[in-house]
Structure 1
Amino acid sequence: MDEQALLGLNPNASADYRERASAYFEQLKVSHDAWQVCAEALVQRIYSDDHVKFFCFQVLEHQIKFKHSELTALQQQLIRETLMSWLQSQMLNAQPEKTFIRNKAAQVFALVFVIEYHTKWPKFFFDILSVVGLNPRGVDLYLRILMAIDAEVVDRDVIHTAENFSICFKEARRNTLLKDTMRERCIPNLVESWYQILQTYQHSNSELTCQCLEVIGAYVSWIDLTLIANDRFINMLLGHLSVEVLREEACDCLYEIVNKGMDPIDKTKLVESLCQVLQSAGFFSINQEEDVDFLARFSKLVNGMGQSLIISWSKLVKAGDMKSAQDTLQSIEMKVPLMLQLLVHEDDDISSNIIGFCYEYLHILKQLAMLSNQQKANVEAVMLAVIRKLTYDDEYNFENEGEDEAMFVEYRKQLKLLLDRLAQVSPELLLSSVRRVFNNTLQNWQTAPFMEVEVAIRLLYMLGEAIPASHGAHFCGDAAKASVLQDMMRTLVTSGVSAYNHTSVALEFFETVVRYEKFFAVEPIHIPNVLMAFLDHRGLRHASPKVRSRTAYLFSRFVKTLHKQMNAFVEDILRRIQDLLELSPHANGFQTLLTSDDQLFIYETAGVLIVNSDYPAHRKHILMRNLLSPLMEKFKILLEKLMLEQDEERQSVLADCLNHAVGFASRTSKAFSNKQTVKQCGCSEVYLDCLRTFLPALSCPVQKEILRGGVRTFLHRMIICLEEEVLPFIPTASEHMLKDCEAKDLHEFIPLINQITAKFKTQVSPFLQQVFMPLLHAIFEMLIRPAEENDQSAALDKQMLRRSYFAFLQTVSGSGMSEVIANQGPENVERVLFTVIQGAVEYPDPIAQKTCFIILSKLVELWGGKDGLVGFADFVYKHIVPACFLAPLKPSFDLADAQTVLALSECAVTMKTIYIKRGPECIQYLQQEYLPSLQVAPEIIQEFCQALQQPDAKVFKNYLKVFFQRAKP
């Protein structure tokens, strides 16, 4: 072997040596006989370096995995002999091999087993057992080989795709055959070897015992259960539960035994006998001081036992064996006290592991016609456990949530599922339990710990989803009929608990208030108090940024829903939020109370209050101007500063601030609707002033991307809100946005033009005539601009721009504005038409191709008749008809792709439209000129033309797909 190359196997070797070792490995992989050198090195123990030994096994592994079928019978025998000789040598070694070498060796044994067990090596296990006996090193390797075989044959986690499905199917058949053969030949012998290993080493070698338990757990799912589920094995396993170093693995092994699929009555007997032994051994009395790692495994075992019994019960009920089902239900009920002990355990992992059993048990109770007193008591016990476990602990970090906090949030979601299930079993009981906890806590909220107060409010919040309105969880104006939920909401908003000084309580209070906004519609008397809580130190001015941020969002939701009840408070609220609306660049570490994202919600809220108030239009105008004038004034000052600013970092800060200003103004416009338009509210002039203020930012020479993006978004909103009043601003805005722009800018500008075209149609025809060719020239120039070969970002920008360009042509042609294209002069019209043909045929982009065919069919419809555009009929036959064939025949036109099929569908529409507009002339051209030029057989030409002439367009669409599937190689 290349000794120099082998030096590179050491993890501390230099990069050059490591590269040489890697190259050497590739060299050995392709060699026909190099593996024999590695085999000899392993058997003769030539190398003491662990990394070289591992390397030799890797070479052998590659040979077996990929080239075994190329080996002669003698060479295959040599591999078997090599492995057995190496195994024998391990019995004599002074020191055992490192774990990573033993694992790799086990993998190689497993690979040979999979290939040769049926044919060349039927005595695989007996040969290994005869070598290893009960030698501890040999047993270790034997157990590792068994786990490696399990990984290859049973525990294969293969992702099935269309490509590998046949491989997976073959593997599945192979694996089934292997397991069947093992059951016939050797499983009883393997089971006996496991028993001997456990008996020999259970007191002297915990590592081997745990390994053996893991093997039993892995194999028990597919071997005869009676080989394991018998007195001698079960008693031994139960004995292991009392041994600290063995009990976790013993638990897992018992879990696998319990999970084994079997007859429901036999399963019940097995679980019941196991439980009786566990109970008599004292395992059903949970000690909170017990080792949590063991209890986590034990709770998983109990969960498995419980769920197995529930599956048996379901099968028996389905089969109509009610007596056996009743016995199984009794068996389930006997496990409930243990389930409850584990559910309330202070360690959430232990509790979480039992939730499945708990959930399924409640599902059984939901199906019973009547609950016994004991079952009702069980339901209440689960309920109290859930309430207790929902509670935060002292260590929870609310301001800086990490992994532990995230795990608790997930655990709470599991508990919520239990609560929902409890509500299905007994809504009245859930309501009364929550009411009791809630009222007791809120009576003494000033002295109660935060976690108790938070969970009391949380439970009220959760009731809304858990209990449907039909069970009385609703609000009504009649105090005599007021529901439990209504009483609790009244307590929540009148108790003063909103002043509790803890983040979690503050957040829960506001979440719940917004969750039940309907309460305030029936009892509006409480709105002022809640508004004050939102507006003062309890909400938007809370010490915690997290509370302030969430409250900003919740406040906007609260106002949006209840704006009809807020008329009396509109000006007071606007006055109180004035300081939260200030626009100021972050500088010198100064932080405002709310982030700019939070301020968006406050501006939207202000807009909602003004627009939906009962004030006359002139008053709304004044309030909206008061809201937006400070923004406009600040915008002008900051834009001047930006024009003069030299420092890039400071420029970026100012541009961000200007962008926020535009965003805030834009957000206020979301308050308008079809019933309350800008014009009806008398606010048009205010927004036109905003436009006049913001548009000069488009000519700012620095920070163009962010400024243009903000103004463009504002224009989109104004096109919706201001109607035709926005039109005078569009030409100037467009002129600025088309200056010094990149592909991305153009791609983002075109939707604005599309919006104007689609909305105003002929009103913007003169503007479109004027901007059409300058816009197209800018697009063409951008598309032909050279870019770096591997610049993926530039390629994507060009693709998106091309799509936008075609979308623009589609909008123009589809909005009754085709004359805009027709009036551009013959040369320009021809250039545009050729770009559409090019888009349909040449670019492997099905989204763009689909758009191009839509444009072509529209233009044929408009210009393709007898009195259409001069010269267009000629263009149809010379270019559009060929495009309908050339595009689908391209290798890149993938008919298995959904987007491509849509493009083909539009291609069919184009052909159909040509036929409708040109009639028999089109059929004659296809029959006598075009299709013969493609060497299409006469009978296929006839078939194609018949399909095209069918009245039902679907017939031709379906035919065209089949036509091109046949035509493509």
Structure 2
Amino acid sequence: MDDLDKAILIMFDESGALDDDLKKQAKLYCNATKEKPSICRLCIEKLCFSNLVQVQFWCLQTLHEVIRTRYLTMTLDERHMIRGSVFSIVCLEDKNLTRILEGPAFIKNKLAQVLITLIYFDYPLVWSSVFVDFFPHLSKGNVVIDMFCRVLNALDDELISLDYPRTPEELTVASRVKDAMRQQCVSQIVRAWYDIVSMYRNSDQELCTSVLDSMRRYISWIDIGLIVNDAFIPLLFDLILVGHLSDQLRGAAIRCLLAVVSKRMEPQSKLSLLQSLHISRLLRLVTENGDAEMVADIAALLTGYAVEALDCFKRINSEDAKGISMELLSEVLPSIFYVMKNFEVDATFNIIQFLSGYVAILKSFTPLREKQLLQLGQILEVILVLIRYDPAYRSNLDVMDKIGKEEEDRMVEFRKDLFVLLRTVGRVAPDVTQMFIRNSLASAVSRSSNSNVEEVEGALSLLYALGESISEEAMKTGSGLLSELVIMLLSTKFPCHSNRLVALVYLETVTRYIKFIQDNTQYIPMVLAAFLDERGIHHSNINVSRRASYLFMRVVKLLKMKLVPFIETILQSLQDTVAQFTIMNYTAEELSGSEDGSHIFEAIGLLIGTEDIQPEKQSDYLSSLLSPLCQQVEALLINAKLLNAEEANAKIAGFSERLVTASRPAIGLMFKQL
């Protein structure tokens, strides 16, 4: 072990036992060594003879840095030496170098990165045979094949893939490399992929998985005919459908098919491609396979397939072709619905976006066919399943602790696209949508227990979200099933109404549909009951009670004149609530938030101040309201001797002589009389 080896080991030491100054000295020594003219030859020699992983990595990292920054200034002989030496290691031309190809993955990945840097500068003008020269060495077995895959992956990561930002120079080099590969060696690479997978599918499935994952990256820019043919497509389907193979290998084959269906091409060619795949062969895997990763891959494939079929429908003018596109969609939609309702998959967002696009094109179908109406119903089922909260968070959401708040915020954001989809379905098929929500509510009501909190909250949320897309006229007249829905809403007391989320969405929904009550005043008592009983202002949860107070004030503003006959009932129901705002022990802490009683008092003021009420009656109502307030002030004044000045002022804060005499003389007189 020479001084450089020792310095590298010290620099990479993570034991914490070495002095920081020593590590700094080691780093300075290594950096100084990098500046030597012979550094590339030194690194290659150490790669050939050192068994220390740290030394191997440092040498590869240094080679990569030096080639990137100094390669074009080197002599032709030195560049030739570097190319030959690196290629020799990669292709195992010297069996003594097996330890590198059998070493850790990060060493092999770094070696691949070094080779790609050479390709960046020299392929194809200087080093035209780099890929072709690789093929004879693949017969050496899995270590070289694995390295071949890593080189292709590194080429994609470092140069070709547009998933990473590229400079104009890099884009130019990438085009040059791809053009040369298409002309020279892509067909041989594809043949090598096919032969390797065919040969090792039973003996080394991990290697086959690596090959297919590499292949997937290249499908987007190579000739699709090299993959979509009578050899490769049957092989991919065979890998997927044969049950004894690993889920990793089957998943890799599925991802290759997704790359195939996603490849950009003319719509007519794409439609022919989609037809030729006979994707229905895979649909049974959705229900048969319980592996989450496998189902996620299938879901992504089916979604990608459906997106492409939908795109063909939009871009092709031929009615026959449009019909084929719809048939292909109808074929895969049931499986997509099944996945969405039974699994959590990464493709959820893409599926929602696809469904939104699909529903949008159904607007052009008049009338909708029975199959399409059925599909819309299934989409509504998917929406209902996805918007439901996880019962595991029920208690957190009810008390609104940190976990509950985070979950509620997450769901509010997650639901946005789903509610947009709901409203789109509602516009395309209003009767189907309203019937589905009615049945969902009825199903939730039929279960007389607290176990269906999430089901009830979900059904109510659907009704609330639907209201945003309903016109004012339709709302007032209760067109379709709306009148039945609103009556069902008002007449139902859900067993789980004590739950905060259920209570809140119930009140919000009642408020959203309140315009229906304007022309159907016979339901006003039901509305008042919803706000004034334990479902609203008298709810045990103070957050629900406060929100109910605010929403009640909004309802009063809208229905003010129609509530005159119910004023006495309303005031009587609110008497204990008003008293609660005036009792000594109703502390500021309890009143934290937006509701400090002002909304209740504003609602009462709006009612009492209605012009249809005679002044004498207004006076009686106000007197009944003010009596407990004045008694409270009187009690505070009597007991003022027991309080210091600060406490006394705090207790009677808000009662100003100027307010009750100068600003509103009539009210001031009433205070004095009381």
Aligned: 1:260 with 2:266: no
Residue in structure 2 matched with residue 435 of structure 1 by the alignment:
438
Residue in structure 1 matched with residue 304 of structure 2 by the alignment:
304
Residue in structure 2 matched with residue 924 of structure 1 by the alignment:
none
One-letter code of the match for 2:256? C
Is this contact kept in 1: 2:556–2:606, CA < 8 A? no
Is this contact kept in 2: 1:438–1:460, CA < 8 A? no
1:18, distance to aligned residue in structure 2 (A): 4.5
Aligned: 1:190 with 2:192: no
One-letter code of the match for 2:277? L
Structure 1 Cα separation of the partners of residues 72 and 392 of structure 2: 61
Is the partner of 1:127 in helix, strand or coil? helix
Alignment of 1:313-712 (within 5 A): 313-317=313-317, 321-347=318-344, 354-392=351-389, 394-397=391-394, 398-399=397-398, 400-401=403-404, 412-439=415-442, 441-442=444-445, 449-469=452-472, 472=474, 474-476=475-477, 484-497=481-494, 500-524=497-521, 526-527=523-524, 530-531=527-528, 533-534=530-531, 537-539=534-536, 542-544=539-541, 547=544, 551=548, 554-555=551-552, 557-558=554-555, 568=567, 571-572=571-572, 575-578=575-578, 581=581, 594=590, 596-600=592-596, 602-607=597-602, 609-610=604-605, 613-614=608-609
One-letter code of the match for 1:143? C
1:629, distance to aligned residue in structure 2 (A): 12
Q: TM-score, normalised by structure 1?
A: 0.57
Distance 1:362 1:611, change over 3 A: closer
Structure 1 Cα separation of the partners of residues 427 and 221 of structure 2: 38
Alignment of 1:759-838 (within 5 A): none
Structure 2 Cα separation of the partners of residues 55 and 94 of structure 1: 13
Structure 2 Cα separation of the partners of residues 310 and 606 of structure 1: 56
One-letter code of the match for 2:593? D
Higher relative contact order (CA 8 A, sep 6+): 2
One-letter code of the match for 1:49? L
1:222, distance to aligned residue in structure 2 (A): 0.7
One-letter code of the match for 1:44? C
Distance 1:455 1:621, change over 3 A: closer
Residue in structure 2 matched with residue 932 of structure 1 by the alignment:
none
Structure 2 Cα separation of the partners of residues 150 and 683 of structure 1: 83
Residue in structure 2 matched with residue 239 of structure 1 by the alignment:
238
Structure 2 Cα separation of the partners of residues 28 and 684 of structure 1: 93
Structure 1 Cα separation of the partners of residues 108 and 645 of structure 2: 68
Is this contact kept in 1: 2:261–2:305, CA < 8 A? yes
Structure 1 Cα separation of the partners of residues 324 and 424 of structure 2: 24
1:406, distance to aligned residue in structure 2 (A): 6.7
What CA deviation, in whole Å up to 9, does each residue of 1:754-780 have, x standing for no partner? xxxxxxxxxxxxxxxxxxxxxxxxxxx
Is this contact kept in 2: 1:10–1:51, CA < 8 A? no
> Which of the pair has more CA radius of gyration?
1
Is this contact kept in 1: 2:124–2:177, CA < 8 A? yes
Distance 1:595 1:621, change over 3 A: closer
One-letter code of the match for 2:59? C
Distance 1:629 1:151, change over 3 A: farther
Is this contact kept in 2: 1:549–1:595, CA < 8 A? no
RMSD, aligned CA: 4.4
Unpaired runs of at least 5, structure 2: 656-660, 670-674
1:485, distance to aligned residue in structure 2 (A): 1.7
Aligned: 1:179 with 2:178: yes
Distance 1:143 1:349, change over 3 A: closer
Structure 2 Cα separation of the partners of residues 453 and 261 of structure 1: 44
Is this contact kept in 1: 2:274–2:309, CA < 8 A? yes
Mean alpha-carbon deviation: is it higher for 121-130 or for 138-147? 121-130
Query: What is the aligned residue count?
Result: 631
1:584, distance to aligned residue in structure 2 (A): 9.1
Identity rate, percent: 24
Structure 1 Cα separation of the partners of residues 405 and 451 of structure 2: 26
Residue in structure 1 matched with residue 217 of structure 2 by the alignment:
218
One-letter code of the match for 2:203? S
Is this contact kept in 1: 2:549–2:600, CA < 8 A? no
Distance 1:605 1:483, change over 3 A: farther
Structure 2 Cα separation of the partners of residues 210 and 54 of structure 1: 26
One-letter code of the match for 2:99? N
Is this contact kept in 1: 2:313–2:325, CA < 8 A? yes
What CA deviation, in whole Å up to 9, does each residue of 1:251-288 have, x standing for no partner? 11111111001122222222222225x52xx6336426
Is the partner of 1:172 in helix, strand or coil? helix
One-letter code of the match for 1:267? K
What CA deviation, in whole Å up to 9, does each residue of 1:724-755 have, x standing for no partner? xxxxxxxxxxxxxxxxxxxxxxxxxxxxxxxx
Structure 1 Cα separation of the partners of residues 462 and 259 of structure 2: 37
Residue in structure 2 matched with residue 122 of structure 1 by the alignment:
128
Distance 1:520 1:132, change over 3 A: same
Is this contact kept in 1: 2:360–2:424, CA < 8 A? yes
One-letter code of the match for 2:276? S
Is the partner of 1:596 in helix, strand or coil? coil
Q: TM-score, normalised by structure 2?
A: 0.80
Distance 1:201 1:445, change over 3 A: same
Residue in structure 2 matched with residue 44 of structure 1 by the alignment:
48
Structure 2 Cα separation of the partners of residues 37 and 445 of structure 1: 80
